[in-house]
């Protein structure tokens, strides 16, 4: 009976040691923003964390979201999701997503502008900014 009790204690210990919080499992924290949400004055992130920015755009009007300046401490990816529309529909909008993955410690300014490529970006139609410190 002593052996059975020892085995149960060992198995319970092994089971409990397998329980980890999300931060210790290597799952990166993701910060999600839309055009309607402002970023904090200075956001604190860690290497490996992700910032997602989602905003509507309609390229048929010429307006598109783009980075106003390159970022130094992030890997940047852009994707879009086309909105549902009937076949042959023109001028259909979409949701553009920027994914910023923190690569190294430092500070960066993410500045996204909604502009027409042939017009001056000094007066963007819309602007979204986020100053970030990565540790």
pLDDT single digits (tens) 44-71: 999 999 999 999 998 888 889 999 999 9
pLDDT tens digits along 77-116: 999 887 666 665 666 788 999 999 999 999 999 999 999 8
Instruction: Dump pLDDT digits (tens) for 37-46.
Output: 999 999 999 9
Q: Which CATH class is domain 26-134?
A: mainly beta
pLDDT score, position 25:
55
With beta carbons less than 8 A apart as the criterion, state whether 135 and 44 touch: yes
Domain ranges of the chain: 26-134
Q: How confident is the model at residue 120, as a pLDDT?
A: 66
Rg, C-alpha atoms of the chain: 22
pLDDT at 58: 86
The per-residue pLDDT for 28 is 83
Give the tokens for residue 96: 């553009």
Distance CA 3, CA 14 (A): 16
Instruction: Please tell me the predicted confidence (pLDDT) of residue 39.
Output: 92
């Amino acid at each position: 009976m002593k052996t059975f009790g020892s085995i149960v204690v060992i198995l319970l210990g092994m089971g409990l040691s397998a329980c980890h919080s999300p931060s210790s499992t290597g799952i990166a924290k993701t910060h999600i923003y839309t055009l309607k949400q402002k970023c904090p004055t200075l956001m604190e992130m860690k290497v490996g964390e992700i910032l997602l920015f989602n905003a509507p755009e309609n390229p048929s009007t010429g307006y598109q979201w783009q980075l106003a300046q390159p970022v130094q401490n992030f890997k940047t990816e852009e994707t879009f999701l086309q909105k549902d529309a009937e076949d042959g529909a023109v001028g259909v909008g979409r949701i553009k997503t920027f994914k910023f993955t923190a690569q190294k410690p430092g500070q960066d300014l993410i500045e996204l502008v909604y502009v027409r490529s042939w017009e001056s970006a000094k007066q963007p139609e819309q602007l979204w900014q986020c100053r970030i410190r990565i540790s």
